[in-house]
Amino acid sequence: GAGVSQTPSNKVTEKGKYVELRCDPISGHTALYWYRQSLGQGPEFLIYFQGTGAADDSGLPNDRFFAVRPEGSVSTLKIQRTERGDSAVYLCASSSAGGASTDTQYFGPGTRLTVL
Amino acid sequence: AQSVTQLGSHVSVSEGALVLLRCNYSSSVPPYLFWYVQYPNQGLQLLLKYTTGATLVKGINGFEAEFKKSETSFHLTKPSAHMSDAAEYFCAVGPLLQGAQKLVFGQGTRLTINP
């Protein structure tokens, strides 16, 4: 079946604007993750959903960042009052089987966010 | 806390030569360890993972890695490099506790294959 998809693939915005990034996980996957990858760095964990609820949001950098998954499938990462430092590739991943520690996380291609 | 260090941000080898990408981790409990590959404009793809059991793990595309607890290492190897192996490789350590799903990634190693 289809893999994890993310839209848009690229987003350019101005400082102070609001943006939404969308993730469509693999069908049937109950666990969904968001990571942020800055230039030259490895991905950094932001938030993890199990079903509709955020099971761990300890990686969100501040209260400008928020994510939802209202029906337990598609997720939206929302960033308010964007700053130039938010520029990065935002990665989404999903996994099956209740999100056990050893479940494989399947990653989407990412959304490249540029804040001017 | 867990952490990962990948030694060498860039590695260059000739086609047909041995590939060795180094990864050392820090963990206060037995870790779960992963290698992911990222091709240009594509998502991260799992190469292999170690959870428990056999310490030599075989993955896709001829790659393998060996978990060495005494050295806190999980180096990635491939006997003979192919041009198609050129990509960015990330080592990651898994969560400490059941239910905590954070992967902690190293900074990545860019592998270049010379013809």
Residue B11 pLDDT: 97
Is residue B32 exposed (0-12), middle (13-18) or buried (19+ Cβ within 10 Å)? buried
CA B18 to chain centre: 15
Q: What is the mean pLDDT of residues B63-68?
A: 96
Could you tell me if B32 lies within 8 Å of chain A, comparing CB atoms?
yes
Average pLDDT for chain B:
91
Residues of B in contact with A45 (CB under 8 A): 102-104
Indicate whether A97 pLDDT > 70: no
Q: Which range is least confidently modeled, A14-23, A99-108, B7-16, B85-94? A: A99-108
User: Is the CB of A104 less than 8 angstroms away from the CB of B105?
Assistant: no
- Rounded to whole angstroms, the Cα distance separating B87 from A85 reads 26
Mean pLDDT, rounded, of chain A: 92
Cβ-based contacts of B43 with chain A (< 8 Å): 3-4, 91, 106-110
Which chain A residues are within 8 Å of B44, Cβ to Cβ? 43, 91, 93, 107
Q: Give the best residue of A29, A48, A58, A90 to mutate against chain B (max B CB count within 10 A).
A: A48
- Going by DSSP bridges, is the β-strand pair B3-7/B19-26 parallel, antiparallel, or unpaired? antiparallel
**Of A57, A59, A48, A64, residue with least CA distance to A105:** A48
Predicted confidence (pLDDT) per residue in A49-91, tens digit:
988 988 889 999 999 999 999 999 999 999 999 999 999 999 9
Q: What is the pLDDT of residues A24-53, one digit of tens each?
A: 999 989 899 999 999 989 999 999 998 898
